[in-house]
């Protein structure tokens, strides 16, 4: 039979695996797997007539995924060899590494990670072949039942009766897994176990508590060391740590998990972002609106949230014999404003924008500071337009989005267009036109993008934009989604040129995603050292003694008149201590005022990072900071 390897026809025998085919073609051991008809496969895959095959090598991202998947299995074997009573659950590959969840009465410690790493090295050095075996569902149940692996039994029981089950073996140790994997353990060249965290079986907090061990693996020690250095830098920049140190926000048990208290310093930055957001949306033709935090439960029935999203919604409350719920999204409110009057084709597009707070019941195990909260504020907007207007309106959204991101220091991003999934609403022609419009809007801006085939929501195609921070990490923020579903559910219409009632298209879009999450990304991107225009305190004044207070009060007033955010530290502390604390708080400029500065009507300037600008005239210093303000949102 014939297959295609790198687009060239190759004749192979029926029943041969990829490993056998590549071996005959004399590929070396840098080959680790292949992409077969768009799917990553290991060398156990039995080739089929007409398949398109592209080799995957160890120095590729796909190859690294195979190595990390195998490293997760090696970890599981190591844990069970040291603590045989431990039960294994699942161990997937994730961004930058892998994890494996374990059920054990023993609490794993950092010392245990050292033991596990040592055992993993022994397994890896044995170059144990990874063997795939396919068995029936009944045989798989018997296999894991004999081992006491109840979690694996539960997974198998959820599969169809006639499905084939694949097991992957490392000598006598085996795991339930669909793969793919590296050919043997020696492909894992460099690895590290990173941490232990708590989790729940299947993410359900009412189920068994598990212990999750995170790890990573690379092709070389050099790559591993580079990654570990990046992790150390990321720890220093952790927004939860800096949020406390810089007095930006807090989350307390008294208020509740996932609910954010914005402190004055954080609130200043949020106000700057919000003011800029409102200004730009005003100028871009959006109507700014406000909507309630709760609504009758019937609204969420109509929108479909009750059917598809109820597990992420808070419980209903009784008010005047009616059921109400806090809003998980703003969309239905914007729809009701659209429906409040008769719309003509002449009115379209109608563009509503809102800084709207929503509430979602996120499980405690996934809450993560500002990045995953239960109450957060979306920079939400919805555009009601005709099918023919999609391209122009999406292009305007892209223009606005890139302007925002560039302003806040994000100039590197990846863009994805997600297309029609297997199940969808709307006609094929609508999907084709909408998808083409999304692509054209990016082409017109000369922006590179990737296609996520079948990755669209059931209600329409979308554009996702992932920004990269200063450490090269990707963050999902901006999204533009075409929606054929909600206009139909809510019976939206407009009067056409021919006096017909037609259904508009609804475009959902957010630039930041949420103010909380974007603020967390900003904190980590800048490491808390915000650019001058964004810093909550731009100038801090310190004195040698109380004798300089009057002069410093005058300085404070001068700076405030120039709209410079200034803080005068009048505490009775040593100057050295106050200078160190100002550095820790990452204030852009620290002014030290002594007897000479008062006599000369000057300021001694220290810039964040250690640069000494020396003694300057007050007017010269104001000119310097005003020029920095112009770089941002002055």
Residue 187 pLDDT > 80, yes or no?
yes
| DSSP at 256 | -
CA distance 190 to 225: 10
Could you read off the pLDDT of 73-108 as tens digits, one per residue? 999 999 999 999 999 999 999 988 999 999 999 999
CA distance 195 to 215: 7
Q: What's the distance, CA 259 to chain centroid?
A: 19
Q: What's the distance, CA 631 to chain centroid?
A: 28
| Residue 589 and residue 607 in contact, taking contact as beta carbons nearer than 8 Å | yes
Integer distance in angstroms from the first to the last C-alpha of the chain?
69
Residue 334 pLDDT > 90, yes or no?
yes
13-22, 206-215, 528-537: segment of lowest average pLDDT = 13-22
Structural tokens at position 586: 């990452």
CA distance 215 to 347: 55
Of 311 and 560, more confident? 560
Could you read off the pLDDT of 210-227 as tens digits, one per residue? 999 999 999 899 999 999
Give the pLDDT score at 630. 66
pTM of the model: 0.85
Give the pLDDT score at 22. 87
Mean pLDDT of 461-483: 90
CA distance 135 to 149: 17
Structural tokens at position 520: 């967390």
Confidence of residue 70 (pLDDT cuts 50, 70, 90): very high
Residue 633 CB-density burial (10 A; 0-12 exposed, 13-18 middle, 19+ buried): middle
Confidence of residue 162 (pLDDT cuts 50, 70, 90): confident
Residue 610 pLDDT > 80, yes or no?
no
Confidence of residue 341 (pLDDT cuts 50, 70, 90): very high
Give the pLDDT score at 214. 96
| Residue 59 and residue 30 in contact, taking contact as beta carbons nearer than 8 Å | yes
Catalytic positions, please? 331, 360, 378, 380, 382, 462, 508
């Amino acid at each position: 039979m014939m297959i295609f390897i790198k687009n060239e026809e190759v004749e192979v025998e029926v029943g041969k695996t990829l490993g056998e085919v590549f071996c005959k073609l004399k590929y070396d051991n840098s080959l680790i797997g292949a992409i077969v008809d768009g799917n990553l496969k290991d060398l156990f895959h039995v080739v089929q007539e007409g398949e398109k095959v592209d080799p995957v090598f160890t120095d590729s991202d796909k190859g690294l995924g195979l190595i990390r998947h195998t490293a997760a299995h090696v970890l599981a074997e190591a844990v069970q060899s040291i603590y045989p009573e431990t039960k294994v659950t699942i161990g997937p590959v994730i961004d930058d590494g892998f994890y494996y969840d374990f059920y054990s009465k023993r609490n794993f410690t950092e010392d245990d990670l050292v033991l596990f790493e040592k055992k993993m090295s022994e397994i890896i050095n044995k170059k144990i072949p990874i063997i795939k075996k396919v068995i029936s569902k009944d045989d798989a149940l018997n296999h894991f039942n004999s081992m006491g692996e109840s979690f694996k039994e539960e997974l198998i029981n959820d599969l169809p009766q006639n499905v084939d089950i694949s097991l992957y073996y490392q000598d006598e140790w085996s795991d339930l897994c669909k793969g793919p994997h590296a050919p043997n353990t020696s492909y894992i060249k460099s690895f590290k176990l990173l941490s232990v965290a708590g989790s729940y079986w299947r993410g359900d907090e009412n189920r068994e508590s598990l212990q999750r061990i995170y790890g990573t693996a690379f092709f070389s020690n050099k790559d591993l060391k580079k990654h570990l250095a990046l992790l150390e830098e990321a720890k220093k920049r952790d927004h939860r740590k800096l949020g406390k140190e810089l007095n930006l926000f807090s989350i307390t048990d008294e208020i509740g998990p996932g609910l954010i208290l914005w402190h004055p310093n954080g609130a200043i930055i949020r106000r700057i972002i919000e003011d800029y957001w409102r200004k730009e949306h005003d100028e871009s033709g959006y109507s700014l609106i406000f909507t309630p935090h709760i609504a009758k439960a019937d609204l969420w029935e109509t929108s479909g949230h009750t059917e598809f999203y109820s597990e992420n919604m808070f419980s209903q409350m009784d008010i005047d014999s009616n059921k109400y719920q806090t809003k998980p999204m703003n969309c239905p409110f914007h729809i009701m404003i659209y429906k409040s009057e008769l719309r003509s084709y002449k009115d379209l597009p109608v563009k509503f924008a809102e800084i709207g707070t929503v509430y979602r019941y996120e499980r405690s195990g996934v809450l993560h500071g500002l990045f995953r909260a239960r109450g957060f504020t979306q920079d939400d907007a919805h555009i009601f337009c005709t099918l023919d207007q999609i391209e122009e309106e999406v292009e305007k959204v892209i223009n606005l989005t890139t302007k925002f991101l560039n302003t806040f220091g994000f100039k590197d991003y990846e863009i994805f267009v997600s297309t029609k999934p297997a199940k969808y609403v709307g006609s094929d022609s609508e999907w084709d036109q909408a998808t083409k419009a999304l692509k054209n809007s990016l082409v017109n801006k000369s922006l590179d993008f990737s296609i996520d085939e079948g990755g669209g929501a059931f209600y329409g195609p979308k554009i996702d934009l992932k920004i990269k921070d200063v450490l090269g990490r990707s963050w999902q923020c901006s999204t533009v989604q075409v929606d054929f579903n909600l206009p139909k559910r809510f019976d939206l219409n407009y009067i056409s040129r021919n006096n017909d009632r037609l259904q508009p298209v609804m475009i959902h879009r957010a630039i930041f995603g949420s103010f909380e999450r974007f603020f967390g990304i900003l904190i980590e991107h800048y490491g808390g050292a915000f650019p001058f225009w964004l810093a909550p305190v731009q100038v801090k004044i310190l004195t040698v003694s109380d004798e300089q207070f009057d002069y410093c009060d005058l300085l404070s007033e001068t700076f405030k008149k120039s709209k410079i955010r200034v803080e005068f530290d009048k505490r009775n502390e040593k100057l050295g201590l106050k200078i160190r604390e100002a550095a820790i708080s990452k204030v852009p400029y620290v002014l030290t005022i002594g007897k000479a500065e008062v006599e000369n009507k000057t300021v001694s300037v220290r810039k964040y990072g250690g640069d000494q600008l020396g003694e300057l005239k007050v007017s010269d210093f104001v000119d310097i900071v005003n020029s920095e303000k112009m770089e941002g949102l002055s």
